Amino acid sequence: MSKQRSGRSASRREQGPASAAGLPVNKNDEVLLDIIGMTHEGEGVGRVEGFTLFVQGALPGEKVRARVLKTKKQYGYAKLLELVQASPDRIGPPCPIYDQCGGCQLQHMDYTAQLAWKRQLVVDNLQRIGKLQVAGAASRGAVSGSAEKDAEPAAVEGGSAGDAGYPAEGIRVLPTLGMDEPWRYRNKAQVPIGVTDGGLVGGFYARGSHRIIDMETCLIQHEDNDKVVATVKSLGRELGITAYDEETGRGLLRHVVVKKAFRTGQMMLVLVTNGRDIPHLDAWLGSIREQLPAVVSICHNINTQRTNVIFGNDTRVLWGSDVIYDYIGDVQFAISARSFYQVNPAQTEVLYGRTLEYAALTGKETVIDAYCGIGTISLFLAQHADQVYGVEIVPEAIEDARANAKLNGMNNVKFEVGASEDVIPAWKEQCVTPDVIVVDPPRKGCDPRLLETILLMQPERVVYVSCNPSTLARDLRVLEDGGYRAVEVTPVDMFPHTVHVECVVGIRRVDT
């Protein structure tokens, strides 16, 4: 790795305050860096005399010239000034506002390389945080690079987590399951609204800020979502609708939320406002219905709180249905204004298909879904299980889950409101003995008491669906120490061109 610096920077190193503190760089120094890896947030990682600098937009394998923006005791941040040597994985981002918008982080990286990096990110977390052995992978520490994009675990062909044995060489981490067409995959847009000298604008926040970048098209949104947002903005300008101002708390329109059911084509529009009264409402609704015939539901959510949380507690239907309908596989779901529903329907089927495979259901099993939400995984598994129990702490989600079970005529599913770590032990007292427990926790991972409950319940198999490799690794360590073995991990690319990666893990009790 090159550690060269310009002569001007070298003299600053000798005289500047950072050097006096023992750091090899000062703010505003220009440095030449070899990028040796990439963080979980998509920043390139380089080092100067052992001091780590994070460089937004730099890719592993590149040599770059960068300016130091900020230093801390053990690391700093630098701005990419020049690509001295570009990575073969670098491509031109197709989005015209990519450099400004914070919605995507990896459009400048070839998609095959993105998938390889996401797998390596999972491997690194399992090794570094979980202290777990991974088949065919040497320990690499915290930094992921793209050099391993062709490195497939040697044990992959040994079978799946449904096999009787455990891989002696460690956990199998399969290649990331990506999309054939990794664009226009999102079925939901949540667009903040603001105002400029030109009037009403709506788009996404600039990276690391709440400054709105106006957007007419988003390449990861379905085209119909773009059309609805653009139409609502245009009509709002014509009617003189004001935008909410976070600093003053004044103005009306806060967010435009659009949901599209990919299978049925139905669309829902939700106007989130800072107050109940909407001026020119009839004219607005009439124009929306005329110009956007695919919209079958127009809802109004009122949020008067000084917060950046999108939704308030009060939602009403302005026109049309209170739900739209979509499918995951053969299971139909009713989606309301505030329902959580996976935003990438194509990859959701991939994710749930692998969940079903790791659950290894024969039709005789009892399954507990510990973070069931509106019942998406529960109902998907109920097609192949004897009985499924779903628990979720959000009452509205359980109402949706019960309605979705009724919608599909599924009588072998029971849903209950509460914390998993409280409800599941109560089920145990009622002689509910699960063969499989499925967990799909939020980014913070499983509650420690839930992990204790799983170890107490002793199901034969656990399937862990994760949206955060670091908390996944932490929780797997607890399960491994409690008598379970993670057999196989499948990373799934639910959000192409972003740094997010989901995983499904097949886990078995050691004595089975």
The CA-atom distances, in angstroms, between 227 and each of 106, 196, 218, 292 are: 25, 21, 10, 8
**Separation of CA 62 from chain center:** 27
Question: Does the active-site annotation cover 467?
Answer: yes
Among the listed residues 207, 203, 205, the one whose alpha carbon sits nearest the alpha carbon of residue 216: 203
Cα separation, 41 vs 102, whole angstroms: 11
Question: Which is it for strands 172-173 and 484-492: parallel, antiparallel or unpaired?
Answer: parallel
Cβ 372 vs Cβ 175: under 8 Å: no
Cβ 19 vs Cβ 10: under 8 Å: no
Q: Which helix or strand (DSSP H or E) is residue 80 part of?
A: strand 75-85
Please report the sign of the dihedral spanned by the C-alpha atoms of residue 201, residue 104, residue 492, residue 414: negative
Among the listed residues 388, 297, 350, 22, the one whose alpha carbon sits nearest the alpha carbon of residue 177: 350
Q: How many CB atoms lie within 10 A of CB 69?
A: 15
Burial 18-51 (b: 16+ CB within 10 A, else e): bbeeebbbbbebbbbbbbbbbbbebbbbbbbeeb
**Separation of CA 319 from chain center:** 31
Catalytic residue among 101, 299, 467, 503: 467
The two three-digit tokens of residue 67, written as one number: 């300016």
At CB < 8 A and 24+ separation, what contacts does 148-154 make? 148/116, 148/119, 148/120, 149/89, 149/112, 149/113, 149/115, 149/116, 149/117, 150/116
Cβ 192 vs Cβ 209: under 8 Å: no
CA angle 385–479–390, rounded 5-degree value? 35
Annotated catalytic residues are: 467
